Structure 1
Amino acid sequence: MPLRRAAAGFRHCRVWPMVSILPGVHSAALNPSFCWRAGVAAVAGLSLTAAFPKASVAGLAWVAPALMLGAALGTDGWTAFRLGYIVGLVHHLTALYWLLFIPVRLAPVVGWLALAGYLALYQGIWVWLSWRLYPAKLKADGLLACAEQFLAVPAFRRAVWALSSAALWVAGEMIRARLLSGFPWNLLGVSQYQMLPLIQVAAVTGVYGVSFVVVWFAVALMGAGLAMLRPPERRQSWAIEIALPLACVLAISAAGFRRLLEPEAPARTLKLALIQPSIPQQMIWNPADSATRFRQVLALSEAALAHRPQVLVWPEATLPGLLRWDTNHYGDSSLAEAVTNLVRRHQVWAVVGADDAEPNPKASEGADFFNASFLIRPDGQLVATYRKRHLVPFGEWMPLARWLPWLRTWTGVTGDFTPGDRPVPFRLTDLGANTSVLICFEDIFPHQARQHVEPETDFLLNLTNNGWFGESAAQWQHAANAVFRAIENGRPLVRCANNGLSCWVDTRGRLHAVFFPDSQDIYRAGFKLVEVPLQPKPAEPSATDDASTTFYWRHGDWFGWGCAGWAGLALGWAWWGRRTYAARQPAEAGLEKESQSWRSYSR
C-alpha cells in the first residue's frame, strides 16, 4: 500500500508531465500497441538516416514518411506527436553522429543531444498535424479496422490530404532553414542527390520541390499499403492511391532526363588548384604547430603550382593567423609576405581562407574578428575580401553569453566572430572570370547561396573546414547539400575543403574530381586540379541577361513559401471545420431530443 501511494504521488508531482513524453516511462507507453508503434517509428528514423550519405540508399526516403504516418495510424494527437518525435530523434542522433568527433570534452555530447532533440520536433509536429488534417477521425481498434476507416474517405479527399501533408513537410523545412539562425542540413530532398533526372526540378522549385515529391509519393504509398490489407477482390484501389504522384514523378524525371541530354559546350574553362591540407583540428588550435601546418600548406601549393593552374585555392581558415596584419610570422617574414611572395613568384591568382580583424574600440578585445576569404592578384595585391555572413552558433558566436557567461568556459568559445554584411564578388579581371565565395556551411542555405549569384557570376566557391568532424559522413553530407546549390542557381560550385570533400559540381548536379587520381581516400592531404566551365564572355549579349540563370534564381523560394501558405490554409480550414462541427453538435442533439419528445406526444 505505501508503494502504491508513493507511485500515485509521483504521478501528481510536477516532474511527471516532463517525463511522460519518454516511451517506457508513462503507463500508456508501456502497452504493447505503443511499443510496436515506437518500433516502427524507430525503423522509420533509421531509414531516413540510411537515405543520406554515407549509406545513400535513396529509395528509403520514399518509404520512411509512410512508416512515420503508419506508426501513428488511429492514435490521438499527443501519441502521434510522440511517435513522430521518436522518428526524428532516432534519425538525427544517427545522422549527426559526427558531432561527437569534435575534440572538446562533454560539450559535443550535449550539443548533439540538444540539436537532435530540437530537430526531432519537426518530425513530431508533422506526424501530428498530418493526421490532424485527415478528413475523418480514425480510432485505434485494430489495423484492419483503421484501414477500412481510412479508405472510407473518398479518393479525391485522400489525394488532397496527401498533397497537404507534403506541403506541410516543406513548410517545416522552410521554417527549419530560418528559425534560430537556421539549420537546413539534410533536407529530405538532399537524399536524392544521385538521382540526377529527378533533382533537375530544383532549378525551378529549389530542393524543396524534391522533398515535396518524395513525401507526396510516400504518403500515397501508405494509402496503397492499407488498400493491400483488404480482401483480394477489393485490393484494386491501391493503384488509385499512387497513380497521380507516380505520374508526377515520371513526368519530372522525363523532363530532367531531357535536361541532362542538353549539350553543355563551354566556350572557355578555368584551371584551379584545390589544396586539401587535411590538418587535424587539434593541430589548428595548438599555436605550437602553426609553423608546421603552414609549411605543409606551402609545400602542397608548390607541388600544385608546378602544373601551372590559373587560380590557387586554399580552404577555410588555412592561415594560422591574420593575413592583413603583421601579428604572425613565418620565418623571417610575416604570413602576409609569405603568401604574397608565393603568388608573385608563380604569377597566379589566389583565393585564401583566413581570419581577419578590424579595429573597434567598443569591442571587448578592441577589434572585430571575422572568418574571411581574400582574393589576391598575381602581383600580390589583396583586391577583395569576403567575410562570412552566417556564423555557426556555439562555434563562431555564443548565444545567450551575456546572460550565461559560463557557456564560454564550458564550450571553449572564448570570443565571437562578427558576421559580414553582404556577398562580395571576386573578379579575376585578366582571366575574365567572376566568382563568389561561401564559407563553411553557408552553402547549405538555399536562400543565402542565391544572394551570392549575379548574372555575370561564373561559379560559386565554397571554402570549408570539416576537420572538426574527423573522417566521417559529415564531408559526404555537406557535399550532397552543395549539389543543389549548383542546380538551383545554374552555376558550377567548386568546393575546397580542409579534409574533404574537395571537388566541383556542374550545373546539372554531377560531382567531379571526387577522389584523388591515385587514391579513393577523400580525407587525405593532397591537391586536385580541376577545369571549371565559365559563362560566355561579357562581350556576348547572353552573358549579361537572365538567359543563363534559372527560374529558382530569378524567383527564389516561391515554391517553398507556396507550400507554407497551402499548409497554413489547410490547417485553418481543418480548425474551422472542427470548431463548426463542435458548435453544431449541441444544437443537433437538442433538435433530436425535441423531435423524440414530439413523436412520443403524438403517439
Structure 2
Amino acid sequence: MTRLKNLLLPTLTGILLWLAWPPLKFTPLLFFAFVPLLIYADKVKHDKKAGGKIFRNSFYAFFIWNTLSLYWIYNAGQELGVAGAIGIVSVPLLLGSLLMSLAFWVYYRTRKNFGENIGIFALICSWLGYEYLHQEWQLAFPWMTLGNGLAEWHQLVQWYEYTGVFGGSLWILLANVLLYHIYRKASLLKAEGASLKGLIGLGIRFVLHISIPIVFSLWIYTNYKEAGNPSNVVVVQPNVNPFSEKFDGLPPEMQLERLIKLSDSLGQPNTEFFIWPETAIIPLVHEDELPYDGSVETIQRFLSKYKNGNILTGAVTVKWYNDKKTGTARYSKQSSKYYDVYNAGLLIENSPKVQVYHKSKLVPGVESYPYSSLLGFLGNIVIDLGGTSGGYGKDNQNPVLYTQSGIGIAPAICYESIFGAFMADHVRKDAQLICVITNDGWWKNTPGYKQHLIYAKLRAIETRRSVARSANTGISCFINQRGDIIKQTEWWKPAVIKADLNLNTTVTFYSRHGDFIAVLASIFAAGFIILSLLWRFIGKAKK
C-alpha cells in the first residue's frame, strides 16, 4: 500500500465517527465506523514495523474524530489568547486520541501472539478500559465515550438502566467486529470460493445483535410508567453573556433581580423548586457567613411568598482555614490564612438554613491542576470559567441536598452531568430528582452545548430520575424518566419554564451496581497490556 492509501481507511473511520456523533443525525454510522480501520490493520499486519503503523494511523483517525467533534473547546479558552486556547483544546484532542490508539496497538500485539479471536477480545476490553480510565483519573474527559453517541436515539437504549453507557460502547464495538468478520468472510468467498454458509451465519448474527437490544429497548420504553409523585419545578435561563456581562458588564444586583423576576413570573403557590444556573450568584459568597450574605437574604425574602419553595443556584464560594486543611487550599498573605474557592451549588429555603454542594468533578486544565505534584506547570494555563482565577477546591461531602419536606435532589454542576456512575452514586444516597446547573455560553453557538444537553437524557435513563436543567444561555429543559425532553427553551434568549416532574425512589440496577462492564473489561485490558509487553520483551531477548 502506498502512503496515501495507508491514510484512506483511517481517514474514513475518523469521518464516519464524526458524522455519527451528536448533534449530527447519522447515529447508525457508529455500527460500522471502525470497520475501515480494522481492515487497514489487517492489511498491514505483516508489514515491517506493523505495530507502529497501526498505532500512528489509528491516532490519525481518532484525532480527526476528536477534532471535528470537540473543536468548540477552543472558544472557552480564548481569554488566554490564541496560544492558550490551542493549548487547552489540545489536551482532550491529543490525549483522547492517544488512549484510543493504544487500544488498537494492544489489538495488534495480542492478535500477533495469540490469534485473531483473542486479539478482538483484547481490542474490546482495551477500548472499554480506556473509556473507564478516562472517566476515573484526574485527567478525566469522558465526553467521547462511545455509548454517549446513542443519546440522540435514546428510545433504543432504554436498557442503559442496567448497563450504563458502557453497555452502549460494547454494543457498538461488537457490531463493528461482526461487520468486519462479514467483510473478511466475503473477501475469502470471492477469492477462494469459500462456503456461503458461514457468511449467512455471520449476517444473521449481526441482524440479531442489532435488533434484539432495539426490540427490548422499545418494549421498555413503551411500557415504562412513572410513579405519580409530582413536584412543581421552575427552571430559569437568565441569558447573561459570560464574556461581556457576567463578571464585568452587568452589576450583580441587576443579575439577581433578573433571576428573581423570571422566577416570579411562573412561580405558583405549590412550586417546590426554582432552579438557577451555574455561578448565577456573584460575587464570592463566604460560606462562614452564609446567613448574612446579601444575595442569600434577598433570595430568602423572595421565597417568603412560596411556603414550600427552594432555590438551587450556582455560586462561587470561599471557605477559610487557619492552616492548610486541603490539598487545594491557597495562602492569603493579606489575612495570613488559607482558603479554598469552590464552584458550588446552594440550596436556599424558607429558613436560615442554606445547604452547600461543592462541585467535585472539575474540568482538567480549566478548573483544576491534574496531578499538580507532577504537572505543576499546568497551574500557569488553568483558565477561569467561574469568576475566579486558579484551580477550584473540591469535595463532595453533601452529594444529595434535602428540602424541608425530605425531597432529595442530586445537583450536577456542568461537566458533572456526563459522569454516569457519579450521578448513580447520588441516587444510591436517596436523590429523587436530578438538577443540572450549567453555563454553556462559554462554548458559543457550537455543537458543545447541544452535546451536553442530550447527554443528560442518558442520566435520566440510567437512574430513572427526572432531570431539570438550567443553563445560563440555554438550552434549559425538563427530561422525564424515559429520557424524553418534554419542554425546552431556545438558545441565547432569556426564558423561564415550569413543569410537574415525578419524583422516584426506586434504585435501578445500574445505580446499584455501577460500571461493572467497564471494571471487568479494564481488568482484562490490564492483563493484555502486560502480556503484550512481556511477549515483546521475550521476543527481543530470544533474538
TM-score by length of 1: 0.77
CA contact (8 A) 2:138 2:371 kept: no
| Identical pairs, percent | 19
Give 3-state SS (helix, strand or coil) of 2:493's partner: coil
CA contact (8 A) 2:271 2:306 kept: no
Distance 2:539 2:86 in 1: 48
Distance 1:575 1:557 in 2: 27
Q: Find the counterpart in structure 2 of residue 258 from structure 1.
A: 219
Is 1:385 aligned with 2:356?
yes
Please list the CA deviations of residues 262-294 of structure 1 after superposition, one character each: whole Å capped at 9, or x if unmatched: 241422211111001122211223165434433
Please list the CA deviations of residues 93-118 of structure 1 after superposition, one character each: whole Å capped at 9, or x if unmatched: 11111112224122222211232111
Number of aligned positions between the proteins: 514
How far did residue 581 of structure 1 move? 8.6
How far did residue 307 of structure 1 move? 8.4
Structure 1 counterpart of 2:107, one-letter code: S
Q: Find the counterpart in structure 2 of residue 420 from structure 1.
A: 395
Distance 1:159 1:250 in 2: 24
Q: Find the counterpart in structure 2 of residue 111 from structure 1.
A: 88
Distance 2:370 2:529 in 1: 33
Greater relative contact order: 1 or 2 (C-alpha under 8 angstroms, separation 6 or more)? 2
Structure 1 counterpart of 2:401, one-letter code: F
Structure 2 counterpart of 1:315, one-letter code: P
How far did residue 304 of structure 1 move? 2.6
Extract unaligned runs of 5+ from structure 2: 45-49, 324-329
Structure 2 counterpart of 1:416, one-letter code: G
Q: Find the counterpart in structure 1 of residue 265 from structure 2.
A: 303
Is 1:556 aligned with 2:497?
no
How far did residue 529 of structure 1 move? 0.9
Is 1:322 aligned with 2:280?
no
Please list the CA deviations of residues 460-486 of structure 1 after superposition, one character each: whole Å capped at 9, or x if unmatched: 211111111112211121123222222
CA contact (8 A) 2:285 2:318 kept: no
CA contact (8 A) 2:23 2:152 kept: no
Distance 1:295 1:266 in 2: 36
Give 3-state SS (helix, strand or coil) of 2:36's partner: helix
CA contact (8 A) 2:382 2:391 kept: no
Structure 1 counterpart of 2:460, one-letter code: A
CA contact (8 A) 1:272 1:529 kept: yes
Extract unaligned runs of 5+ from structure 1: 1-31, 138-156, 536-542, 587-603
CA contact (8 A) 1:165 1:219 kept: no
Is 1:364 aligned with 2:331?
yes
Match 2:36 to one of 47, 62, 67 = 67
Give 3-state SS (helix, strand or coil) of 1:195's partner: helix
After superposition, the Cα gap between the structure-2 partners of 1:409 and 1:69, relative to the gap in structure 1 and judged at 3 Å, is: closer
Distance 2:430 2:297 in 1: 32
How far did residue 419 of structure 1 move? 0.5
Q: Find the counterpart in structure 1 of residue 184 from structure 2.
A: 226
Structure 2 counterpart of 1:342, one-letter code: F
How far did residue 428 of structure 1 move? 2.3
CA contact (8 A) 1:130 1:165 kept: yes
Q: Find the counterpart in structure 2 of residue 336 from structure 1.
A: 296
CA contact (8 A) 2:285 2:316 kept: yes
Q: 5 Å matches for 1:18-57? A: 33-57=2-26
Distance 2:24 2:353 in 1: 42
After superposition, the Cα gap between the structure-2 partners of 1:477 and 1:381, relative to the gap in structure 1 and judged at 3 Å, is: same
CA contact (8 A) 2:287 2:319 kept: no
Distance 1:410 1:254 in 2: 46
Give 3-state SS (helix, strand or coil) of 1:422's partner: coil
Distance 1:464 1:303 in 2: 22
Distance 2:532 2:289 in 1: 63
CA contact (8 A) 2:457 2:479 kept: yes
Q: Find the counterpart in structure 1 of residue 327 from structure 2.
A: none
After superposition, the Cα gap between the structure-2 partners of 1:114 and 1:557, relative to the gap in structure 1 and judged at 3 Å, is: closer
CA contact (8 A) 1:198 1:210 kept: no
Structure 2 counterpart of 1:508, one-letter code: R
Q: Find the counterpart in structure 1 of residue 326 from structure 2.
A: none
Is 1:165 aligned with 2:132?
no
CA RMSD, aligned part only?
3.1
CA contact (8 A) 1:486 1:493 kept: yes
Distance 1:258 1:51 in 2: 25
How far did residue 533 of structure 1 move? 0.8
Match 1:504 to one of 474, 478, 503 = 478
Structure 1 counterpart of 2:518, one-letter code: G
Distance 1:224 1:307 in 2: 62
Please list the CA deviations of residues 472-524 of structure 1 after superposition, one character each: whole Å capped at 9, or x if unmatched: 211121123222222222322322111223223333322221x33xxxx3342
Relative to structure 2, which stretch is displaced further, 452-461 or 73-82? 452-461
Distance 1:243 1:177 in 2: 35
CA contact (8 A) 1:159 1:241 kept: no
TM-score by length of 2: 0.85
